[in-house]
């Protein structure tokens, strides 16, 4: 879908053995980074100011996503786009009753402490993006980068 919009897509899946220099080179040469909230998102620090950082924000992680990544990204001069998933985009949607606080009121669950938050919303949770809905974020990122590059041709990648 990103390629259809006009992006050149390079997938980077760092693991504990990936050299930091490889991650730095990849992200410093990128105009956009997309990822699901988690510790690896700290790699946004390697992006150039003016780049776009899209963070997929799972249920129960809204506060941490904004506090640890959204606000710092903006302070570093990145265009930050948060994509808050809907309950139906979460694997938890199939595990819990639709009226369960895990789905209906994640804040009440995260207030119970880090152990609950980690177990339910980080360890036991996967995301299934609604691609039609997510596409809007990608188009916004592409338009932003396209206009930025046309205003500043010297910023275009070699």
pLDDT at 152: 62
Residue 91: count other Cβ atoms within 10 Å of its Cβ: 13
- Does some domain include residue 151? no
- Does some domain include residue 12? yes
**pLDDT tens across 121-150, in order?**
988 789 999 999 999 999 999 999 988 777
- Domain residues for the domain of 90 are 2-142
- Does some domain include residue 15? yes
**pLDDT tens across 68-78, in order?**
999 999 999 99
User: What total of structural domains would you count in the chain?
Assistant: 1
pLDDT band at 158 (very low <50, low <70, confident <90, very high): very low
Q: Is 56 left (phi over 0), alpha (psi -120 to 50) or beta?
A: beta
């Amino acid at each position: 879908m990103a390629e259809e919009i006009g992006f050149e897509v390079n997938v980077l899946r760092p693991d504990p053995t990936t050299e930091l220099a490889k991650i730095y080179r990849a992200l410093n040469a990128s105009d956009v980074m997309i990822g699901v909230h988690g510790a690896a998102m700290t790699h946004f620090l390697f992006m150039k100011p003016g780049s776009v950082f899209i963070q997929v924000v799972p249920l129960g992680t809204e506060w941490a996503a904004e506090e640890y990544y959204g606000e710092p990204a903006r302070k570093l001069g990145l265009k930050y786009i948060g994509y808050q998933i809907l309950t139906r985009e979460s694997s938890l949607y199939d595990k819990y009753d639709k009226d369960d606080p895990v789905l209906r009121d994640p804040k009440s669950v995260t207030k119970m402490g880090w152990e609950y938050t980690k177990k339910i919303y980080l360890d036991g949770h996967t995301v299934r993006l609604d691609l039609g809905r997510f596409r809007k974020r990608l188009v916004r990122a592409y338009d932003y980068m396209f206009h930025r590059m046309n205003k500043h041709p010297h910023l275009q990648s070699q």
